[in-house]
Amino acid sequence: MNMALFGRTDTSPAATLSNSQRAKGCVAYDPLALEPTYGYDPSLAPGIVFTVAFFLSLTAHTVQTIRSRKWWYSAFALGALGMWYIVLGLNKADRLTQGEAIGWAGRAGAHHCPYSKTLFSLQISILIISPCFFSAGIYYILGQLINQHGRRYSPVSSRTYLYTFITFDVLSIIIQAIGGGMASSAGGKSPPGNTKPGTHVMMSGIIIQLVSMSIFGILWLIFLWRARAEPYSRTLVLATTFSAFCIIVRNFYRAIELSQGWKGYLITHEVYFAVLDGALMTLAVGVFNIFFPARYLSGEPETEKVSFGSPEQLSQEGLEPKAT
């Protein structure tokens, strides 16, 4: 692979360079030097796999959104974009890269530049924030179901519900971005400063997102129970439930990871990050490529319509209540 793509600025062994030189340049991993900020040398394979996966999801969601003209579902494309996006530029202050990657493309680049503080800060901030867009798309689905089947089935109106949750989503993004900036700024100093304040701010943003998605799960179940006699698409309900579950599990992992600090067990073991973030977020957004929500909410024919809790279904299951 051409290292010029990642702006390798120094071919000297990392052990012979100062912390500042390693952090500001693109230096190859050296087992004789101090461990990179990741706590390990990031593997190339997961970076490539998830870069390709999110690029394919981004492309598919963009096409699906344009064809359906349901623009709100571009939230899924924006989330996939953040998980994949590559930025070309030159960091003049650090004289860093001509091709700097964010998201999982950044993880792939970090395999070649594991000591780069700027690359680390950019990719970890984007990967933490991007799933908020997936949450926004899911919130919209419930709002559409409320509009389609009636306000009487929901504790709050679709408008109040959507505005409230999107507000929390935006608040979570802002807080995480501020925390990420604080932590990266402190960690980029020589010698490194105290990253705990920024880490705690980032964790509070993750917790807001986690609480928001958990409350969504409760409202989602309340709506489905109250409207159980209404005909629903089993496919859409299961896809949305699955995606929300993946996001909630991922947020739990991220909150615990950050609570352990930058040298904690979870953050310094790549397998947890690949499985509990990369894989779960691939599934969370990819399920809507296969079962695009507009298909089930646009009134088009659906072959898998069922009635959750309808008299017919209860009768088939032997659960029909006795007449009084």
What pLDDT does residue 32 have? Answer: 57
pLDDT in tens, 216-265: 999 999 999 988 888 878 899 999 999 999 999 999 999 999 888 878 89
| Mean pLDDT for back-to-back runs of 10 residues, the chain (324 residues) | 46 52 63 67 83 87 89 80 48 30 63 72 76 88 87 87 88 86 70 78 90 91 88 87 94 90 86 92 92 76 40 42 44
- DSSP states of 141-157 as a string? HHHHHHHHH-GGGSSS-
Report the C-alpha gap between 187 and 193 in whole angstroms.
6
The answer to whether the beta carbons of residues 10 and 27 sit under 8 Å apart is yes
Query: Which pair of structure tokens corresponds to residue 186?
Result: 């402190």
Q: Is the dihedral of CA 126, 128, 129, 134 positive or negative?
A: positive
Report the C-alpha gap between 56 and 50 in whole angstroms.
10
Whether pTM > 0.85 for this model: the answer is no
Question: By C-alpha distance, which of 258, 242, 251, 255 is closest to 277?
Answer: 251
What pLDDT does residue 35 have? Answer: 65
Half-sphere exposure of 62 (CA within 13 A, CB side): 10
pLDDT in tens, 91-129: 332 333 322 234 666 677 677 777 777 677 777 777 777
Q: Which domains does the chain have, with CATH numbers?
A: 3-293 (1.20.1070)
